Amino acid sequence: MADMPTPYAPPAEIEGPRSRALLVGLVGLAACVAGFIVDRDHFFRSWLVAYLLFLGIALGSMGLLMIQHLSGGAWGVFRRVFEASSRTLPLMALLFLPVVLGMGTLYPWTHPDQVAQDEVLRHRAIYLNTGFFLARAFVYFAGWILIAWTLTRWSRRQDAGDMRVNLPIQYLAGGGLVFYTFAATFAAVDWIMSINPHWYSTLFGFIFVGGHGISALSFTIVVSTLLARWAPMDTVLKPSHFHDLGKLSLAFVMLWAYFNFSQYMLVYAANLVEEIPYFIARTSGGWQYLALFLVVFQFAVPFLLLLSRDLKRMPLRLVWVSAALLLVRDIDLFMLVAPEFDAASGANLHVLTGEHASHVFVHWLDLAAPLAIGGLWVWMFFTQLAQRPLLAFADPYLRNALESPGGH
């Protein structure tokens, strides 16, 4: 038995991108360390944006993994990619530490003098305080990691022929989705919304989670296109599988637009003093061009492209749409964070001073941080991917789905 080759073993070729990712990550990390020393405030903001992008891929993959366990269907061929992404969560918990270090820069409610002057922050102090913030972050990560680890371990047991886990996986997927959505919602409040001392929106959690879907699907398409070049996945992955992912991407792109339009239109129409500053900051001082860029490139263009059936069935074209979407996701997250620190219109008390005080600009750390986190994250992803077969070949539901044509 021992010398029998493992079915669907990962190809040796993934060692290439894996080691290159580590190199990129280390170079980026060195740049970030330099940035931390010379421009600490900027480092924390850039780190937060890049962190949220890759956390979104990991969490979104875990969400899709659970949806796939519940819904079934042939797109389960991507399960091991989703699993490897969600198994990067411990690394993401580690990379959260700079955010903790930067709380004083990022979150105005950490300053007692500012809280004392601000009635709203005083009201929120029992929720927005350092101790409870850290405790919540611990609960989110503990829950997410526990779910990801249990799901992937049980999936591994299926490979070994243990079918008793089939039912528990589905129950965990159902409960896990509930936990993931609630935890991600409150994480969005803690980590992004509270940068602005006053603003709030009940739809914000959905916008955050919907974005995870776009990020995770885009990354999965990019990586699967790569995997499809080598054995064993070159014979497994078919145009119809990419078609499924393309359709899901289209659905999430539409959902993202729907959520953002709803939020914008309702705040704009009501024009209330406690809500509208958030959008004034993002539609003036140069930020409006970035906002328009997002409307065009996170909705209009990918929407029109992804409508095409041919494009969705050709991985080599679809991959470009997905890679571009990942880039745009970073800009979207940048737009959630950066305008708050604009001295002219931002609401954060810790605004910029000096030459970049009140207009749009991209700091070199905004490029270095995604390289650092992204490099380390992709390295961890390939490390996890290399540890198990690339197909959950023993799952009976998946086998049935792969045998029956059409439908999902």
* Residue with Cβ nearer another protein (5 or 161): 161
279-285 long-range contacts (CB < 8 A, ≥24 apart) are 280/345, 281/339, 281/340, 281/342, 281/345, 281/346, 281/347, 282/335, 282/339, 284/344, 284/345, 285/342, 285/344, 285/345, 285/358, 285/359, 285/360
The C-alpha atoms of residue 182 and residue 179 are separated, in whole angstroms, by 5
Report yes or no: 185 and 208 within 8 Å, Cβ to Cβ. Answer: yes
70-95 CB burial, b ≥16 within 10 A, e <16: eebebbbbbbbbbbbbbbbbebbbeb
Give least dist CB 289 to another protein, A: 24
Of the two residues 74 and 371, which places its CB atom closer to another protein in the complex?
A: 74
Q: How far is the CB of 394 from another protein (least distance, A)?
A: 9
Smallest separation, CB 43 to another protein (Å): 29
For the bound state, the minimum distance from the C-beta of residue 142 to another protein, rounded and expressed in Å, comes to 21
Q: In whole angstroms, how close is the CB of 308 to another protein at the nearest point? A: 14
Shorter beta-carbon distance to another protein: residue 200 or 293: 200
What's the number of CA atoms in the CB half-sphere (13 Å) around residue 249? Answer: 38
Question: Given the complex with another protein, which of 27 and 120 has the nearer CB atom?
Answer: 120
CB atoms within 10 A of CB 107: 22
Taking the complex as a whole, the smallest distance from the CB of residue 342 to another protein amounts, in Å, to 22
> Rounded to the nearest whole angstrom, what is the least distance from the CB of residue 310 to another protein in the complex?
17
DSSP letter (8 states) at residue 160: T
Closest distance of CB 265 from another protein, Å: 8
Min dist CB 407 to another protein, Å, is 5
Considering the complex, state which of residue 34 and residue 276 has its C-beta at the smaller distance from another protein: 276
Sign of CA dihedral 219, 222, 225, 229: negative
**Minimum CB distance to another protein smaller for 149 or for 397:** 397
Q: Which residues bind another protein (CB under 8 A)?
A: 119-120, 123-124, 127, 163-164, 166-167, 171, 174, 178, 181-182, 185, 189, 200-206, 258-259, 262-263, 265-267, 269-270, 272, 274, 396-397, 399-400, 406-408
Q: How far is the CB of 350 from another protein (least distance, A)?
A: 20
Q: Classify residue 400 as exposed, middle or buried by CB count within 10 Å of its CB (0-12, 13-18, 19+).
A: exposed
> 119 or 234: whose CB is closer to another protein?
119
* Dist CA 163 CA 148 (whole Å): 19
How far is 79 from 220, CA to CA, in rounded Å? 10
CB 366 within 8 A of CB 318: no
Q: In the complex with another protein, which residue's Cβ is closer, 74 or 151? A: 74
61 or 263: whose CB is closer to another protein?
263
The alpha carbon dihedral of 29, 34, 40, 41 has a sign of: negative
* Residue 159 contacts residue 394 (beta carbons within 8 Å): yes
Nearest to 144 by CA among 65, 213, 211, 68: 65
Residue 230 vs 397, nearer CB to another protein = 397
Contacts (Cβ under 8 Å, ≥6 apart) of 63 = 177, 180, 181, 209, 212, 213, 216
Closer residue to another protein (CB): 82 or 109: 109
Q: In angstroms, give the least distance from the CB of 218 to another protein.
A: 21
Element at 307 (helix H, strand E): none
How is residue 367 written in tokens?
Answer: 């490029």
Least Cα distance to 59 among 183, 192, 170 occurs for 183
